[in-house]
Structure 1
């Protein structure tokens, strides 16, 4: 049952059920008329974002997918796995698996894909305000950085 259907049924049955009680029973609540995108990103995107942020300072290692070392797609794979979602291993495969969205539709927790010549070469998790959590390159570590180019695509994990 969706949160939109659950809340009215709880309210009609219990009369004065608080919003907090309804949220505890139903998970997330949406305001009437809320955009479907808010639902699509869901709590798993916020969880994945939190996992990525918790790995701040973990060293980069090519081919590593955690829990102590990461490459770029290893960080996104690990973060979403901890949030209950499965992603393929490489940045290009992850791009192919996500629902492609516009920059105007991006939300915290969406994936940010860096591309050149039509090929994806890097991925991070959107943190808001033009920033991403990512594991950039050899000699670096998981960190929060500004998006440094306009050559990015956005994807939402389904």
Structure 2
């Protein structure tokens, strides 16, 4: 059942964050989908288990972009992005413990982000989710324009 749910979620997001054809898969969509359904594991950095910053680090490592394994440290990278200007690949940050930035995810478009949630593992969540909307802190853009174009282009169309 868990694999079926993961497959259905992957299929939905496959169509949601792709550019061009509705069935095109971008490098970014492939990377985030690869981890979907993986369990939560404190300090985890593999599909056997991720914490939130372990997941974001793992996604971006696929593109030779090294991120520190800490949501607070990741929030110091790149440039600030207004919530209204988010684009796929931006990192979104939340205060889930009452002490500042403590959670991170990868924004994928359409108001959604992938992240490793403590009680769910790697899932897709809407920024408008009542839990996360109250805890949203900031977003950072770590991809250059060139990197963004590469990660959002279906290799089959090149």
Which interval holds the TM-score relative to the shorter structure?
0.5 to 0.7
Q: 1:128 to 1:109 in 2, by over 3 A?
A: same
Structure 1 unaligned residues grouped into runs of 5+: 1-45
Q: Kindly provide the CA deviation profile for residues 106-133 of structure 1, in whole angstroms up to 9, marking residues without a partner as x.
A: 1011101013667211100001111110
Aligned to 2:17: none
2:68 match: 88
Task: Quote the Cα distance in structure 2 between the aligned partners of 1:62 and 1:76.
Answer: 14
Q: Secondary structure at the match of 2:45?
A: coil
> Which residue does the alignment assign to 2:142?
157
SS in 1 for 2:105: strand
Contact in 2 for aligned 1:49/1:109 (Cα 8 Å)? no
Q: Is residue 2:104 matched to residue 1:123?
A: yes
**Counterpart position of 1:10:** none
Residues in 2 aligned to 1:129 and 1:121: alpha-carbon distance in whole angstroms = 23
TM-score using structure 1 length: 0.64
Pick from 102, 122, 129: which aligns with 1:142? 122
- For structure 2, list consecutive stretches of 5 or more residues without a partner in the other structure: 1-25, 144-158
Greater gyration radius: 1
| 1:60 alignment counterpart | 40
Q: Name the CA distance, whole Å, in 2 between partners of 1:48 and 1:59.
A: 20
Aligned residues: 112
CA–CA separation in structure 2 for the residues paired with 1:96 and 1:118: 16
Q: Cα gap change, 1:49/1:92 in structure 2, threshold over 3 Å: closer, same or farther?
A: farther
Segments of 4+ moved more than 2 angstroms: 46-50, 115-118
